[in-house]
């Protein structure tokens, strides 16, 4: 918007209008960033003392990177979770959006329902999945046992791989419908003329999708992938309520690891250092995706 | 003789005309089936939790009576009794969410208006930084907030939760509302200012009514995020400021998980969100998706 009259532009009102929101957001973002950084160079076991302890240089970081198998396990778990979660969400959302693109009564109903999982509490979703997978009376456990007799006696949440699958499933259930809406929005903004012309010229549905729809949809898909990756790195609620990071450490992501170091072991400096490494992972990931989206785009 | 061109519809079968109609019908039927599967995947878990809330425990812990059971309202009453006290948790959740919305939305409206209507140095960068603040992982933020509110003696207070949630929803709300205000024509404002109206009057009497759908949408979105917020509520609240999502995990007891009570609590936490989101659905979806598409 640059159509302001000269009168609108002369007044510095905009800073007055911006100040409350900007100052608040800046304070609430910069304070923890700075404080965490300070903490990450200190030794501070909250159980033993109530104020930050000695400056210990990089030793928290060094301990994390050289002497903590649990941290690397968390790193691996985070990688597996993000890869599976983002890919599955993308595939489900893209498929559903292409399916729901056309009008029709059933499709309208489906589109209305897409908002429901997104406004549900992730904590409740985690609890519900735990209930569904319960080995004695869980309905999903039971149904899968009927479909695949070999899995009749499987205790889902006692198995590392299946627990991870359950976490991914619950997160996809929460997010894929919303991402479907986003992709539907992207599909709606693509002009239909080229697609129709290609169809008249004899292109198959798949060819139209691959050569015309997909390239135009790619920026939206990239945005969805970035958003989902960021939220996957933040994922905590469903892990806490569904598996508690278990069995063992098999579903303990970096976010959960930080929480545990800070609030179960009260090791503030160590937790802060881990949190900063998580931020670094996030920045790398965001940069990677942005470059990917940017390179394909222009 | 070539046929006259048929009107273009989004049904390709009508255009090429060579495709066997049977194939097309099978394809349509398959699509419908898939949509139906998708609808079931969303609806069945919700339905299952809903019926569980109306079951006696004996029917919850047996699949023989999964669908045929004597319904009861007992669970929905029990969750309000000691020691669950979901009543006070609903009150806390409601107070925190409402407080967050009432404080954040006016701030966000003013900021969004400034971003939409003014040109100033570093405008794009400042806007991006506001959005980027949401990319900071909660894990980094959670320790300092805990220590800060501990220092201030504000642990286990609703005010602390309001402040934290404000910092979460403000960037989203600014982002969403800027889009809505961008779409409001600027001419009315200009003529009002030429007539001598003050900036505050223009904002209050022209912009706010015109952007009201957007303001409501951002408010609903912020309310939803705050209502469901889990991690910070888990860390900040102990007893007095417990919110509904934290109340839910209280049903995991030493005697095992009390699913029927969890389900009853689940209904209480979900029903208001479903109601509000369906009420403002069209606007809600538009603004939720617009930002990512543009």
**Segment A167-208, tens digit of pLDDT:** 999 999 999 998 998 888 888 888 888 888 888 888 888 888
**B263 contacts in A (CB within 8 Å)?**
131
- What DSSP assignment string belongs to A184-196? HHHHHTS-SHHHH
Q: How confident is the model at residue B285 (pLDDT cuts 50, 70, 90)?
A: low
- pLDDT for res B181: 87
Angle A105-113/B21-52 helices, nearest 10 degrees?
40
**Looking at the predicted structure, is the pLDDT value of residue B15 above 70?**
no
Average pLDDT for B172-193 = 85
Closest chain B residue to the Cα of A29, Cα to Cα: B133
Minimum CA–CA partner of B131 in chain A: A25
Do residue B134 and residue B278 come from a single domain?
Answer: yes
Q: Nearest CA to B195 among A5, A247, A126, A228?
A: A5
pLDDT of residue B252: 86
The pLDDT tens digits of the residues spanning B1-10 come to 444 554 444 4
Q: Is the CB of B275 inside 8 Å of chain A's CB atoms? A: no
Looking at the complex, report in whole angstroms how far the Cα of residue A232 sits from the nearest Cα belonging to chain B: 10
B183-231: pLDDT as tens digits: 888 888 888 888 888 888 888 888 888 888 888 888 988 999 999 999 9
* Inside any domain, residue B2: no
Chain A partners of B166 at a C-beta cutoff of 8 Å?
Answer: 24, 28
CB–CB contact B230 A106 (8 Å) = no
Q: Are residues B40 and B83 in the same domain?
A: no
Question: What pLDDT is recorded for position A3?
Answer: 47
Give per-residue pLDDT as tens, B240-258: 999 999 999 988 887 778 8
What domain range includes position B32?
Answer: 12-52
**What does DSSP assign to residue A103?**
-
- Say if B62 falls within a structural domain: no
Q: Given a cut of 60, is residue B18 above it in pLDDT?
A: no
Cβ(A117)–Cβ(A174) under 8 Å? yes
| For residue B17, pLDDT beyond 80 | no
- Asked whether residue B67 is domain-assigned, the answer is no
Q: Do A115 and B285 touch (CB under 8 A)?
A: yes
Residues B28 and B166 both lie in one domain: no
Confidence label for B13 from pLDDT (cuts 50, 70 and 90)? very low
Nearest by CB to residue A271, choosing from B52, B143, B288, is B143
Smallest Cβ distance to A128: which of B49, B117, B224?
A: B49
Rounded to whole angstroms, how far apart are CA atoms B54 and B73?
6
| A112-146 confidence digits (pLDDT tens) | 899 899 999 999 999 999 999 988 888 898 888 88
Contact A18 B111 (CB under 8 A): yes
Q: Domain check: are B45 and B90 in the same one?
A: no
User: Which of A216, A196, A217, A215 has the alpha carbon at shortest distance from A205?
Assistant: A196
Q: What is the CATH number of the domain that holds B124?
A: 1.10.3720.10
ipTM: 0.84
Asked whether residue B6 is assigned to any structural domain, the reply reads no
Same domain flag for B252 and B163? yes
Low-confidence ranges of chain A (pLDDT < 50): 1-4, 296-298
Domain assignment present for residue B167? The answer is yes
B113, B246, B274: residue with CB nearest A17: B113
- Could you write out the three-class secondary structure of A15-50? HHHHHHHHHHHHHHHHHHHHHHHHHHCECCECCCCC
Whether residues B144 and B179 share a domain: the answer is yes
A158 touching B, CB under 8 A?
no
Shortest CA distance to A277 belongs to which of A52, A55, A65, A89? A65
Interface of B with A in 176-205 (CB under 8 A): 182, 186, 189-190, 193-194, 199
Higher pLDDT, B21 or B172: B172
% residues pLDDT > 90 (chain B): 37
Q: How far is CA B251 from CA A74, A123, B54, B77, B247, in A?
A: 28, 12, 16, 14, 7
- Evaluate whether the domain defined by A53-297 bears CATH number 1.10.3720.10: yes
pLDDT score for B23: 80
Place B64 in a pLDDT band, splitting at 50, 70 and 90: confident
- CB of A137 within 8 Å of any CB in chain B? yes
Q: How many domains does chain B have?
A: 2
């Amino acid at each position: 918007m640059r159509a302001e009259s000269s009168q609108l532009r002369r007044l510095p009102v905009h800073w007055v209008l911006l100040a409350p929101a900007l100052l608040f957001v800046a304070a609430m973002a910069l304070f923890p960033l700075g404080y965490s950084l300070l903490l990450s160079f200190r030794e501070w076991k909250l159980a033993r003392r109530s104020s930050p302890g000695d400056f210990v240089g990089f030793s928290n970081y060094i301990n994390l990177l050289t002497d903590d198998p649990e941290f690397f396990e968390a790193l691996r778990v985070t990688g597996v979770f993000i890869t599976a979660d983002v890919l599955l969400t993308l595939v489900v959302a893209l498929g559903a959006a292409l399916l729901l693109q056309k009008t029709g009564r059933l499709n309208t109903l489906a589109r209305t329902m897409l908002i429901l999982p997104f406004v549900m509490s992730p904590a409740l979703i985690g609890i519900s999945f735990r209930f569904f997978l319960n080995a004695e009376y869980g309905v999903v456990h039971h149904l899968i046992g009927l479909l695949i007799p070999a899995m009749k006696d499987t205790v889902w949440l006692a198995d590392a791989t299946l627990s991870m699958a359950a976490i991914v499933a619950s997160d996809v259930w929460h997010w894929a419908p919303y991402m479907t809406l986003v992709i539907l929005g992207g599909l709606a903004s693509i002009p239909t003329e080229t697609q129709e012309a290609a169809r008249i010229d004899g292109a198959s549905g798949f060819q139209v999708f691959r050569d015309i729809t997909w390239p135009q949809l790619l920026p939206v898909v990239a945005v969805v992938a970035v958003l989902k990756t960021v939220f996957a790195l933040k994922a905590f609620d469903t892990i806490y309520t569904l598996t508690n990071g278990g069995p063992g450490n098999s579903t303990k992501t970096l976010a959960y690891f930080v929480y545990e170091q800070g609030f179960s072991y009260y090791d503030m400096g160590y937790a802060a250092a881990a949190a900063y490494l998580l931020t670094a992972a996030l920045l790398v990931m965001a940069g990677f995706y942005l470059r990917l989206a940017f390179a394909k785009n222009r | 003789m070539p046929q006259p061109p048929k009107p273009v519809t989004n049904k390709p079968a009508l255009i090429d005309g060579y495709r066997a109609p049977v194939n097309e019908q099978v394809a349509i039927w398959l699509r419908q089936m898939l949509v139906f599967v998708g609808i079931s995947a969303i609806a069945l878990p919700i339905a299952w939790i809903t019926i569980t809330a109306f079951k006696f425990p004996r029917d919850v812990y047996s699949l023989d009576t999964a669908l045929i059971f004597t319904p009861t309202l007992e669970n929905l009453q029990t969750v309000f009794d000691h020691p669950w006290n979901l009543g006070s948790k609903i009150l806390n959740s409601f107070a925190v969410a409402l407080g967050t919305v009432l404080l954040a939305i006016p701030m966000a409206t003013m900021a969004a208006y400034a971003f939409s209507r003014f040109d100033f140095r570093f405008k794009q960068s400042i806007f991006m930084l506001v959005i980027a603040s949401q990319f900071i992982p909660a894990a980094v933020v959670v320790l300092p907030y805990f220590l800060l509110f501990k220092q201030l003696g504000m642990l286990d207070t609703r005010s602390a939760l309001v402040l934290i949630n404000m910092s979460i929803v403000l960037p989203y709300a600014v982002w969403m509302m800027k889009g809505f205000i961008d779409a409001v024509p600027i001419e009315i404002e200009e003529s009002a200012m030429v007539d001598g109206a003050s900036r505050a009057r223009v904002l209050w009497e022209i912009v706010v009514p015109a952007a009201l759908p957007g303001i409501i949408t951002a408010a609903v979105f912020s309310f939803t995020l705050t209502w469901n917020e889990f991690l910070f509520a888990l860390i900040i609240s102990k007893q007095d400021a417990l919110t509904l999502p934290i109340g839910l995990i209280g049903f995991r007891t030493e005697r095992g998980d009390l699913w029927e009570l969890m389900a009853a609590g689940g209904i209480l936490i979900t029903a208001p969100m479903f109601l509000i989101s369906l009420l403002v659905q069209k606007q809600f979806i538009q603004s939720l998706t617009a930002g990512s598409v543009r």
